[in-house]
C-alpha cells in the first residue's frame, strides 16, 4: 500500500514539474497570440481648477499579444470623483493601447518587465449636482494617450501591472462652480483639449493562445 502511495505522490510531483516547465516559454518560442484577461483599479488627476478631487474607479481589460515585443490592451473604465460637496463627475472610458516591451528579455520570466504604451480611447463624461440629478451636463469626447508601465510577473502566466499615462481629450469642456452651496454646471459651445493623468494597477492572467 505504501508503494502505491509513493508512486502516486511521485506521479503528481512529476506532473507538477511538467506543468511548471510548460509555463516557461523557450528562448525561441513565439509569444504572439497570447490572450489575457484582467481587472484594474484606476486613478485620475485632472488639470482643471474645478474638476474636484482625484477620480478613482474600476475596470477591466483583455490583452492580445501581437509579437514578442508588442502587446495590445483593450480596456474599459468607470471613474468617479467629487466636486466640493455639491456635485459629482463620472467618466466612462473605452479604449485600447499598444504596449512595446523595452527590455532584452520579454518572455514573462523576469519579475520586472517594463514597457512604453500609446493608444486611443472614447470617453463619456457626466457632471451632476448631488441630490438634484436634473441639474447636469454631459459630453462625449475622444483622447490619445501615451505613457509607461511595468509588469510584475508572478509566473509567466500571471502578473500585476502598474502604468501611468497622460490622456489628452478633445471635446466640449464642462465647468462647475459652487455658488451658495449650489452647483452651477456649464458646458462650452466649442471643443477644446483637456488632459489628465491616469494611473492603473491591474491583475492579469493568460488564458489561451489564439494562434
Relative to beta strand 55-65, strand 34-46 is antiparallel
The pLDDT mean for the chain works out to 85
85 within 8 A of 113, measured Cβ to Cβ: no
Q: What pLDDT digit, counting tens, does each position of 55-101 carry?
A: 899 999 999 999 999 999 999 999 999 887 889 999 999 999 999 99
Task: Look at residue 110 and tell me whether its pLDDT is greater than 90.
Answer: yes
Q: Which residues, other chains included, contact 15 with Cβ-Cβ below 8 Å and sequence gap of 6+?
A: none
pLDDT of residue 103: 84
How far apart (Å, rounded) are the C-alpha atoms in residues 16 and 53?
Answer: 49
Task: Look at residue 155 and tell me whether its pLDDT is greater than 60.
Answer: yes
What's the DSSP call for residue 25?
A: -
Q: What pLDDT digit, counting tens, does each position of 21-39 carry?
A: 444 454 456 788 999 999 9
pLDDT of residue 29: 63
178-181: long-range contacts at Cβ-Cβ below 8 A with a sequence spacing of 24 or more? 178/83, 178/84, 178/86, 178/87, 181/85, 181/86
pLDDT of residue 1: 54
Domains and CATH numbers, the chain: 31-209 (2.40.160.20)
Q: How many helices (H) and strands (E) does the chain have?
A: 1, 8
155 within 8 A of 110, measured Cβ to Cβ: no
38 within 8 A of 62, measured Cβ to Cβ: yes
pLDDT of residue 19: 45
**pTM across the whole model:** 0.78
pLDDT of residue 194: 80
Task: Look at residue 52 and tell me whether its pLDDT is greater than 70.
Answer: no
Amino acid at each position: 500500500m505504501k508503494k502505491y502511495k509513493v508512486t502516486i505522490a511521485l506521479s503528481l510531483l512529476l506532473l507538477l514539474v511538467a506543468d511548471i516547465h510548460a509555463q516557461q516559454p523557450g528562448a525561441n518560442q513565439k509569444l504572439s497570440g497570447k490572450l489575457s484577461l484582467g481587472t484594474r483599479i484606476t486613478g485620475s488627476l485632472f488639470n482643471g481648477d474645478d474638476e474636484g478631487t482625484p477620480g478613482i474607479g474600476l475596470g477591466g481589460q483583455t490583452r492580445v499579444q501581437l509579437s514578442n515585443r508588442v502587446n495590445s490592451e483593450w480596456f474599459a473604465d468607470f471613474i468617479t470623483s467629487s466636486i466640493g460637496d455639491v456635485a459629482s463627475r463620472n467618466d466612462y472610458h473605452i479604449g485600447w493601447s499598444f504596449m512595446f516591451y523595452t527590455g532584452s528579455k520579454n518572455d514573462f520570466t523576469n519579475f520586472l518587465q517594463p514597457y512604453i504604451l500609446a493608444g486611443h480611447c472614447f470617453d463619456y463624461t457626466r457632471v451632476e449636482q448631488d441630490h438634484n440629478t436634473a441639474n447636469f451636463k454631459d459630453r462625449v469626447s475622444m483622447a490619445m494617450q501615451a505613457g509607461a508601465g511595468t509588469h510584475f510577473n508572478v509566473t509567466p502566466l500571471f502578473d500585476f501591472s502598474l502604468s501611468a499615462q497622460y490622456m489628452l481629450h478633445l471635446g466640449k469642456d464642462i465647468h462647475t462652480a459652487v455658488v451658495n452651496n449650489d452647483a452651477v454646471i456649464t458646458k462650452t459651445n466649442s471643443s477644446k483639449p483637456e488632459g489628465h493623468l491616469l494611473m492603473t494597477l491591474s491583475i492579469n492572467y493568460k488564458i489561451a493562445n489564439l494562434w
